[in-house]
């Protein structure tokens, strides 16, 4: 099974695909106007459980330095344009996602 992720910034949704078929949709928080989430094609380059603080229970770093998909200690920020460019998820959601995807999983970020 090949997983891939698409992040739709305008909808503030992360969509998980398996073999090209949508399997899950998660609400996310995204970058502010002055610190936007970068558009483009990336992949998950690292994973770290319990990174602490604002990163919640899981960090999945992208292959672009300082950007990733992570949990949050501020669940009210989900669905908003509030981050420094990262993709924030509810802690339970990021744990579900992190168990399904592996390092190398493609991540497309688009409007």
Active site residues: 70, 86
CA 53 vs CA 42, 60, 70: distances in Å: 25, 15, 11
* DSSP sequence for 36-53: PPPPEEEEEEEEEE---G
Question: What does the block give as tokens for 65?
Answer: 């330095």
């Amino acid at each position: 099974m090949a997983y891939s992720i698409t992040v739709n910034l305008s909808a503030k949704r992360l969509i998980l695909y398996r073999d090209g078929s949508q399997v899950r949709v998660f609400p996310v928080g995204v970058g502010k106007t002055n610190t936007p989430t970068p558009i483009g094609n990336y992949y998950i380059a690292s994973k770290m459980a319990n990174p602490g603080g604002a990163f919640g229970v899981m960090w999945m770093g992208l292959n672009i330095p300082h950007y990733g998909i992570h949990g949050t200690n501020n669940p009210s920020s989900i669905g908003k344009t509030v981050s420094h460019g990262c993709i924030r998820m509810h802690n339970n959601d990021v744990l579900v996602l992190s168990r399904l995807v592996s390092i190398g999983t493609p991540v497309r970020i688009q409007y």
